[in-house]
Amino acid sequence: MKKWLTTGIAAVMGVALLIGGCSSQSPGATPAPDQVNDAKNTAKVGEQVGYKIIGIDPGAGLMKATKKAMEDYQLKDWELVEGSGTAMTAALTKAIQDKKPIIVTGWTPHWMFSKFDLKYLDDPKGSFGKDEEIHTLVRTGLKADHPNAYQFLDKFEWTPSDMENVMLEILNGKKPEEAASDWVKNNPDKVNKWIEGIQPGAKEKLKLAYVAWDSEIASTNVVKAVLEQKLNYDVELSQVEAGPMFIGLANGDVDGLVAAWLPTTHADYVEKLKGKFEDLGVNLSGTKLGLVVPSYMDIHSIEDLNK
Q: In the complex with ligand PBE, which residue's Cβ is closer, 98 or 214? A: 214
Site for ligand PBE in 235-274 (CB under 6 A): 242, 261, 265
CB contact at 8 A, 102 and 294: yes
Residues in the interface with ligand PBE (CB under 6 A) total 11
Kindly indicate which of the ranges 5-13, 29-37, 55-63, 137-145 contains the residues binding ligand PBE, using the contact rule CB under 6 A. Answer: 55-63
**At its nearest, how many Å lie between ligand PBE and the CB of residue 62?**
3
Residue 108 touches ligand PBE, criterion: CB under 6 A = no
Residue 54 touches ligand PBE, criterion: CB under 6 A = no
Among 66, 148, 181, 215, binds ligand PBE (CB under 6 A): 215
What is the number of H-type helices and E-type strands within the chain? 13, 10
Distances (CA, A) of 265 to 11, 64, 75, 135, 220: 29, 8, 21, 11, 18
b or e along 167-192 (b: 16 or more beta carbons within 10 Å of the residue's beta carbon)?
bbbbbeebebeebbbebbeebeebbe
Distances (CA, A) of 172 to 111, 167, 271: 10, 9, 37
Q: In the complex with ligand PBE, which residue's Cβ is closer, 63 or 149? A: 63
Q: In the complex with ligand PBE, which residue's Cβ is closer, 73 or 107? A: 107
Q: Which residues face 210 on adjacent strands?
A: 239
Whole-angstrom distance, CA of residue 136 vs CA of residue 155: 10
**At its nearest, how many Å lie between ligand PBE and the CB of residue 134?**
8
**At its nearest, how many Å lie between ligand PBE and the CB of residue 267?**
11
Q: In the complex with ligand PBE, which residue's Cβ is closer, 98 or 157? A: 157
Of the CA atoms within 13 Å of residue 96, those in its CB half-sphere come to 20
Residue 61 touches ligand PBE, criterion: CB under 6 A = yes
Residue 62 touches ligand PBE, criterion: CB under 6 A = yes
Helix (H, G, I), strand (E, B) or coil at 256: strand
Q: In the complex with ligand PBE, which residue's Cβ is closer, 4 or 158? A: 158
Gyration radius (Cα) of the chain, Å: 22
Residues forming contacts to ligand PBE in the complex (CB under 6 A) are 56, 60-62, 107, 213, 215, 242, 261, 265, 289
